[in-house]
Structure 1
Amino acid sequence: MTQGLGPGAGYFWAIQTTPLPIPMRPLFKVIFSVLALLVASGIGGYFYMRRQFMPPPNQLVVTELPATCSFAWLADTAAGRAMPHAAVLVPVQLPGCPRTCYLQFDTGAPYSVLYAKPLAALQARYPALPFVGAAQLDTARNFRFAIGQGQVQARWLKVLNTGATQLPADSTAPFVIGTLGADVLAGQALVLDYANRRFSLVAQVPANLARQATFVPLAFTNRRVLLNMGLQGEDKQLLFDTGSSAFALLTDQANWQAMAIPGAPAHTVGVNSWGKTLTAYTVPTAAALQLGGVTLPLRTVSYIENTDWKQNLLMRFSGMGGMLGNEPFRQHTVIMDVRGERFGVVRR
C-alpha cells in the first residue's frame, strides 16, 4: 500500500488511515447487507441452474401401447477405435412414407427433436408427406409417427439444422431423422432387451418379468432418468443416458483417475456433441455397479475434456456421480419403470 510514496511515508499513511470506531448499528447494517446479498445471489443462482435443467412441457402423446420393435445399433469408428454400439436406433413409420426411418433413442435428451436435412431429403423423395415445409422451419407441428403398433403424436417438435442430406441408396440402411428423447417415457415403462435388440414401451411392467428383475430406485426429475446404484462402495446417483452408448460411465476427471487401473494407458477419441468436437479419455477399470445382489462390471471409465462451464455447473448442481451408457447392460434386459419409480435388471 505504501510502495512509491517515499521514505517515511508508510508511517504517515498508517497514521492517517487508522480507522475510527464504527458505531455498532451501522456495522450491523453493513454485515446484514453483505449477508443479504450473498443469500440473494445464492437463491438467484439456484433458480438459474434449476431453469437450465427444466425442459419445456412434454409435447408427446403416446397411445395404442405396447409399442414394440427391433432396434438397430449404429456403428461408428472414431480415432481408430471401432464402436459397433455407438447409438440405439428405433425404427419409426411416418404417415404416407413407404420407407422406415429411425430416431436415435437418447434418454439424456429430455425432449425429442427432428433434423431438418433428413426431413428435406424425405420431402424431396416423397412430396405427399404431411410435414411440408417443416425442414425450413425451426418447429414441426402435429408430427405423427408409429413405433410398432404404438402411435405417437407431437403437438410440436424442435427442428435442428443437422443430419444427412441424402437418402442412402440402400433402402434397408438406417436413415436417422431425429432424436427420441426421454419424453416418450413419461408415465410409461420401457423394457429394453439389449441382447435381443427389443424395444418395448408399455403401460406397466408385466408381472412375470418384474419377478425376474432386481430393482433400484429411479427418479424422473425434469425428464432425466436418475438411478441410485452402488459404485466403489458408495451409493451414487447416476444419470442413465442411452445417447452415450460408446461409454460405460462418464464422470469427472477426479473420479476417472480414482477408478482407473494404475498404469493403464488412456484411449483418446474425439466425440461430437451437437456439432462441437470434444475429447474423451477412456481407461480400463475394475469398478462395478451394484444392484442388490447383481454385479455389473463397468470395464472402462471415461471423462470428457473441453466441456463448457454450463455443462460443468449443471453436473455439479445436479449432484450426479456420472452418466451411465448402454455398455454395462448390453447383455441384459433393463426395465425403466417411470410410473413405478424403479429401474430393474432382469437376472439371467
Structure 2
Amino acid sequence: MKTFRKILLLVLALLVAGGVGGYFYARQKFEPGVNQLAVTQLPATCAFEWKADTTARPTVAHAQQLVPITVPGCPRTCYLQFDTGAPYTLLYEHPLAALREQYPATRRTLTLRADSVRDFRFALGQGQVQARKLPVLRYGARQLPADSTQPFIIGTLGADVLEGRVLIVDYARRRFTLCERVADSLASRTDFVPLAFTSRRVLLSATLQGEPRQLLFDSGSSAFALLTSQSRWQELSKPAAAVAVRPVNSWGKTLTSYTAPSAMKLGFGPAALPLHTVSYIEGMSWWQSALMRFSGMEGMLGNQPFAEHTVVMDVPGKRFGVVRQ
C-alpha cells in the first residue's frame, strides 16, 4: 500500500510539474519581443481602405482594414493591414521584392538581412515611424497591380504601434488617428470599459448575455463580429438559423468558418451594440487554441459591431470606448 501511495504521489507530482512547466513555456511563447517601433510627429491621421474577399460566397466587403503608408524611394502609396491581433509589425517578402524591382531607389531600404529589414522608415499620415528591425514573412503578392489605384499590401501593422498611445478609429468615415492622449471633448462623449494591453493584445471587458466577458479586439478579424468556441457559438446563435460555411485563409493555411445570426448585444457601459452574427473556426492548431486559453480571453471581437461607430483605444488610460452618436 505504501509503495502504491508513493507511486501515485510521484505521478501527481510529475503532472503538476509538467502543467506548471507547460504553463510558463506557453506564457514565454505568448510574450512578444521588444517593441521595435519609434513613432514621432503625432497626431497622425489617415483614411483607411477596406479590402474585399472576392473568393468568398457571398463576397465579404470588409475582409481587411488597410492603412496607407509612404516608403522612402517609392512614389506610390503602399498599405499595411492593420491587425491588433498581431503583437508586432512585420513585412511580406514577395511585395518587397516587387518594389525593389520596380523602384530601384527602395533597394537600400528594403534589402533583407537574415529574414528581416533593418532601420525601416515610413510615414503614417503626418506621423513618422522608425523600425529598428522588422521580421519578413514569405508571403504576399509577387507583382504590383496594373491599376495603380489598387492597394498594394506590403505587410502588417501590429499592436506595437499602440503601445503608450491612443488610437481613434471612425469606421463610418474611414478615419484612422494615432495620438498621445484623448481630448477631453471626445472623452466626455465616449462610453468606456476597462482595457488591458497584456502582451500587446487589446483585451477589453464588455458584457455579453448580461455578464462581463474578456474579449480580444482583433482588427485582423474584419470579416467577423465575434469569433468564439463552438459551444459558446451554439449559445449565442439564433436557434435553427441558417449557417454560412466558408474557407478562411490564415497565413496561407485554409481553415473553415461557421457563421450564424445572433440576437445578442455587446455592452460597453451604457452603450449596447448589436452583435448581428457569431462565428467559430475549425482547423486551428493545438498551439493556437492553447494561446487563446493562456491569454484568458473568451473570444475575438472583430470590426463588424463598430461599422457605424467611432472607437477609442486609450492604452495609457487602460480604457476602450465607443463614442456616443
Same fold (TM over 0.5): yes
- Which residue of structure 1 lines up, in the alignment, with residue 265 of structure 2? 288
Q: Is the 8 A contact 1:131 1:143 kept in 2?
A: no
Give SS of 1:331's match.
Answer: coil
Higher Cα Rg, which structure: 1
- Write the letter of the residue equivalent to 1:197: R
Describe the shift of the 1:267–1:189 C-alpha distance in structure 2 as closer, same or farther (beyond 3 A). Answer: same
The 10-residue stretch of structure 1 (310-319 or 46-55) with the greater mean CA deviation from structure 2: 310-319
SS of 1:287's equivalent? Answer: strand
Structure 2, gaps ≥5 residues long: none
How many angstroms does 1:163 deviate by?
A: 0.7
Report deviation, 1:319: 2.2
1:168 paired to 2:145? yes
Aligned equivalent of 1:51, options 28, 46, 56:
28
Farther-moved stretch of structure 1 (45-54 vs 128-137): 128-137
1:170–1:310 Cα change, 3 Å: same
Matches within 5 A, 1:111-150: 111-129=88-106, 131=108, 134-135=111-112, 137-150=114-127
Q: CA deviation at 1:272?
A: 0.3
Matches of 2:227 and 2:64, distance apart in 1: 15
| Counterpart contact for 2:109–2:120, Cα < 8 Å | no
Does the CA contact (< 8 Å) of 1:116 and 1:134 recur in 2? Answer: no
Are 2:179 and 1:213 equivalent residues in the alignment? no
Deviates more, 1:133-142 or 1:325-334: 133-142
Could you tell me the percent identity over the aligned residues?
62
Match for 2:70 among 74, 85, 93?
93
Moved more, 210-219 or 132-141: 132-141
Please give the alpha-carbon distance, in whole angstroms, between the structure 2 residues aligned to 1:303 and 1:27.
Answer: 45
Contact 2:167 2:313 in 1 (8 A): yes
Listed one character per residue, the Cα deviations across residues 252-271 of structure 1 (whole Å, up to 9, x for unaligned) are: 10011111111111001101
Aligned position for 2:221 = 244
Distance in 2 between the 1:186 and 1:109 partners? Answer: 13
| Contact 1:78-1:270 within 8 A present in 2 as well | no
Task: Calculate the aligned-residue CA RMSD, in Å.
Answer: 1.4
Q: CA deviation at 1:32?
A: 4.2
Aligned residue for 1:11? none
Q: Counterpart of 2:236?
A: 259
Aligned pairs for 1:2-151 within 5 A = 22=2, 29-129=6-106, 131=108, 134-135=111-112, 137-151=114-128
Q: Secondary structure at the match of 1:78?
A: coil
Q: What SS does the corresponding residue of 1:89 show, helix, strand or coil?
A: strand
Q: Please give the alpha-carbon distance, in whole angstroms, between the structure 2 residues aligned to 1:62 and 1:189.
A: 12
CA distance in 2, matches of 1:298, 1:130: 46
Query: CA offset at residue 27 of structure 1?
Result: 6.1
Contact kept? 1:271, 1:278, Cα under 8 Å? yes
| 8 Å Cα contact 1:279/1:305 also seen in 2 | yes
Task: Tell me what 1:16 maps to.
Answer: none
**Cα contact 1:245–1:327 (8 A) shared by 2:** yes
Distance (whole Å) between structure 2 residues aligned to residue 72 and residue 98 of structure 1:
19
TM-score, normalised relative to structure 2: 0.96
1:328 aligns with 2:289: no
Aligned residue for 1:154? Answer: 131
Q: Which of 307, 315, 340 lines up with 2:292 in the alignment?
A: 315
**1:95–1:130: 8 Å Cα contact kept in structure 2?**
no
User: How many corresponding residue pairs?
Assistant: 325
User: Contact 1:123–1:132 (CA<8 Å) still a contact in 2?
Assistant: no
Question: Contact (CA 8 Å) 2:109, 2:119: kept in 1 or not?
Answer: no
- What is the deviation of 1:30? 4.0
- Between 1:28-37 and 1:140-149, the stretch displaced more is 28-37
Deviations 1:24-81 (A, max 9, x none): xx66654543343222112101101102211111101111101110111111123421
**How far apart in 2 are the matches of 1:133 and 1:259?**
46
Deviation at 1:111, TM superposition (A): 0.5
State the shift of 1:316 in Å. Answer: 2.0
TM score, norm. by length of structure 1: 0.90
Contact 1:191–1:334 (8 Å) recurs in 2:
yes
1:15 match: none
**Aligned counterpart in structure 2 of residue 303 of structure 1, from 280, 286, 293:** 280
Could you tell me how far 1:96 is from its partner in structure 2? Answer: 1.9
One-letter amino acid of the counterpart of residue 329, structure 1? F
